[in-house]
Amino acid sequence: MNRFEGKVVIVTGAGSGIGAATARRFLREGAILTVNGRREPKLHETIAGFDEAKSLVHPGDVSDEAYVKRLLEDTVNKFGKLDVLVNNAGTAIFGPFSQTTTQDWRKIMATDLDSVYFASREALPHLLTTKGSIVNLSSASGLGGDWGMSAYNAAKGAITNFTRALALEYGSRGVRVNAVAPSLTSSEATADLEKSEAVMAAFVSRLPIGRAAKPDEIAGVIAFLASEDAVFVNGVVLPVDGGISASNGQPNFLSILEQG
């Protein structure tokens, strides 16, 4: 399947996890790809085994407005156009709101939210030409609140509605804007969480599928939204959460009854 043959794609945060899996998915489907991330060696690992002539490794911090301009300019100068932007880069901070510092807040907003604004703004003139698309990474945490993740909830909630707003404004001009909203997905970032039996038991109790997602499982949905298979999908924030968002939040009465 080569849905992206000849298409030029940028994936931010492509050094690990969902970003790396998404980058490799696009490459397998024929895309010409720019991979962004902070750690250059990890970006080379992401594209290892693929045709280097069809890739641009572009390390940098997407919370830096000037850097994002260079990222877009260098991609278009090298490959001649842009068809798909995947805004994946992000970070999270856990802890009570009372302990969330101004520095914590600004770090989350810069990495998770400002980066999406900067990249989308710089990409849209090119995407209007190619009738391309944007796929943003929101989160289950962008659809509802969590305990101890107020800054992350705020940033991902903003991405959710930013996605919808851009879809309304640009859909009639030929550019589709969508997002995915994953729940717990196994990656470097979640490795410590997954070592805790108590944490994983709590997650599994809320996950109808009964396990964390694999990065490839999120990448497949991102590729679908970016492809012509989703040509009439616009403004969607698609939960890829194992069924967490299917619940209304009440307890699992069946498990309570089974326990007697």
Q: Which of 67, 117, 152, 170 is catalytic?
A: 152
Calpha distance 101→93 (Å, rounded): 11
The Cα–Cα gap between 115 and 162 comes to 12
Going by C-alpha positions, the residue among 239, 113, 120 that lies closest to residue 177 is 120
- Residue 32 burial by Cβ neighbours in a 10 Å radius (0-12, 13-18, 19+): buried
256 three-state secondary structure:
helix
From CA 253, how far away is CA 244, in angstroms rounded? 16
Residues in CB range of 67: below 8 A, 6 or more apart? 60, 61
Q: Where are the alpha helices (DSSP H) in 131-246?
A: 150-170, 191-195, 197-206, 215-226
The answer to whether 152 is a known catalytic residue is: yes
First and final C-alpha spacing in the chain? 51
* Catalytic residue positions, numbered: 152
